[in-house]
């Protein structure tokens, strides 16, 4: 490998998956492969890789009981195909940075210790992500690793948007609105600037709609509000997460069902949302297929669209108007019917979809005369991780 070509491996862990990608380049970077392990913790899973070198393409069943087992498969695959000396660094998406971390951080024992202290902020994601970092550290002790925080995009939220209306003493302990999907939103804003000749001025709502779903209100390139809050469980109903709920429900279920905090957490994170409402599936595609004959599926879809519509209205008010909406994420990019239902009735905000463009997943799906431009932009968290890693490893010491 020539000295100016460096390889960066990115790791993006979900609740039941690990996505990884390999980038190489000097001044500019390019993706050379994508990989994914799906179905972690389930009886049926899959390992798949798609590479520019077709000889490296692979897809096979894989049963991994947890992320620790799954990451060994990734590390074995990397080690079998390249010298680790050819890797410049590994970049990890870390969901929560708490009050002290927002810029990408070179991972040290001190940073790992701080991340472990943050685990109670998001016990659904942080322990897994820390486990992956430690697995790489054990296997490749000399390989630099970088943590890229999903809260960073919202770091400068206005104070009124950060505050939670609970006793002030908890704010001193870091309890406030943080917001998430920051790597996705950073990428979308870069793409929006590219598509708009470098302009980031204006009033924009970003809608990252996938298994996890959130919206962000952005004014002149800066996040001023977002639907997720202290943890990624807040805001919209999602595939298996409930989103915002009446906090009185905790006490009610404790009294009537003897439900303990751990059980409540399990319910609102893994048994609710589209899955809980439909009682059949967390996959919106499956629900759309059966909504005509299954009222539960129809109601789950209707609730999801209704809640997104409500947040768009609220954020339009917070922004003082609206210039652009961007749909992204698995649902936002690929579900024309959902986008149509969300935007239906929002003509008073200046939103007017073009049915043909929307059905074809065109880059711009609004009508020419629409006062609000509605875009579909595929997101790419991995490239943002790679860019952040490169910036960190290129940074002079003590900077």
Alpha-carbon span 88 to 219, nearest angstrom: 36
Distances (CA, A) of 208 to 117, 129, 242, 323, 325: 28, 21, 16, 17, 11
- Cβ neighbors of 228 (< 8 A, separation 6 or more) are 177, 178, 179, 180, 181, 214, 234, 235
Can you say whether residue 361 is alpha, beta or left, with left for phi > 0 and alpha for psi between -120 and 50 degrees? left
Catalytic residue from among 122, 150, 225, 380:
150
Spatial separation of the C-alpha atoms in residues 91 and 149, rounded to whole Å: 10
Query: Would residue 150 show up in a list of annotated catalytic residues for this protein?
Result: yes
297 and 291 in contact (C-beta within 8 Å)?
A: yes
Which element (helix H / strand E) includes 118? helix 109-118
Whole-number Å distance between alpha carbons of 130 and 13: 10
Catalytic residues: 150
């Amino acid at each position: 490998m020539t000295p100016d070509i460096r390889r960066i491996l990115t790791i993006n862990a979900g609740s039941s998956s690990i996505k990884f990608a390999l980038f190489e380049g000097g001044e500019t970077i390019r993706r050379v492969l994508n990989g994914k392990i799906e179905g972690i913790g389930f009886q049926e899973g899959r390992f798949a890789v798609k590479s520019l070198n077709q000889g490296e393409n692979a897809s096979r069943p894989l049963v991994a009981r947890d992320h620790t087992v799954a990451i060994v498969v990734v590390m074995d695959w990397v080690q079998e195909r390249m010298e680790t000396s050819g890797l410049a660094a590994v970049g990890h998406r870390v969901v929560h940075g708490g009050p002290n971390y927002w810029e990408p951080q070179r991972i040290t024992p001190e940073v790992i210790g701080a991340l472990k202290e943050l685990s109670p902020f998001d016990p659904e994601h942080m322990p897994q992500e820390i486990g992956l970092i430690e697995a790489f550290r054990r296997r490749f002790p000399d390989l630099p690793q970088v943590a890229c925080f999903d809260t960073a995009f919202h770091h400068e939220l206005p104070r009124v948007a950060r505050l939670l209306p609970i006793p002030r003493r908890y704010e001193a302990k870091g309890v406030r609105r943080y917001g998430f999907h920051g790597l996705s939103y950073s990428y979308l804003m870069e793409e929006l600037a590219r598509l708009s000749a470098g302009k980031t001025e204006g009033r924009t709502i970003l809608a990252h709609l996938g298994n996890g779903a959130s919206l962000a209100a952005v004014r002149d390139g800066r996040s001023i509000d977002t639907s997720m809050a202290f943890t990624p469980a807040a805001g919209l109903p999602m595939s298996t997460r409930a989103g915002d709920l009446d906090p009185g429900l905790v006490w009610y279920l404790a009294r009537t069902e003897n439900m303990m905090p751990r059980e409540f957490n399990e319910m609102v994170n893994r048994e609710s949302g589209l899955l809980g409402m439909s009682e059949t599936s967390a996959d919106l595609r499956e629900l759309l297929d059966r909504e005509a004959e299954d009222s539960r599926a129809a109601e789950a879809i209707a609730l999801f669209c209704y809640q997104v519509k409500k947040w768009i209205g609220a954020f339009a008010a917070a922004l003082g108007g609206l210039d652009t909406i961007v749909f992204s994420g698995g649902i936002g990019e690929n579900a024309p019917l959902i986008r149509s239902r969300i935007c239906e009735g929002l003509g008073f905000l200046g939103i007017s979809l073009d049915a043909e463009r929307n059905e074809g997943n065109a880059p711009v799906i609004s009508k020419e005369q629409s006062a609000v431009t509605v875009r579909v932009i595929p997101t790419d968290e991995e490239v943002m991780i790679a860019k952040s890693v490169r910036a960190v490893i290129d940074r002079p010491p003590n900077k």
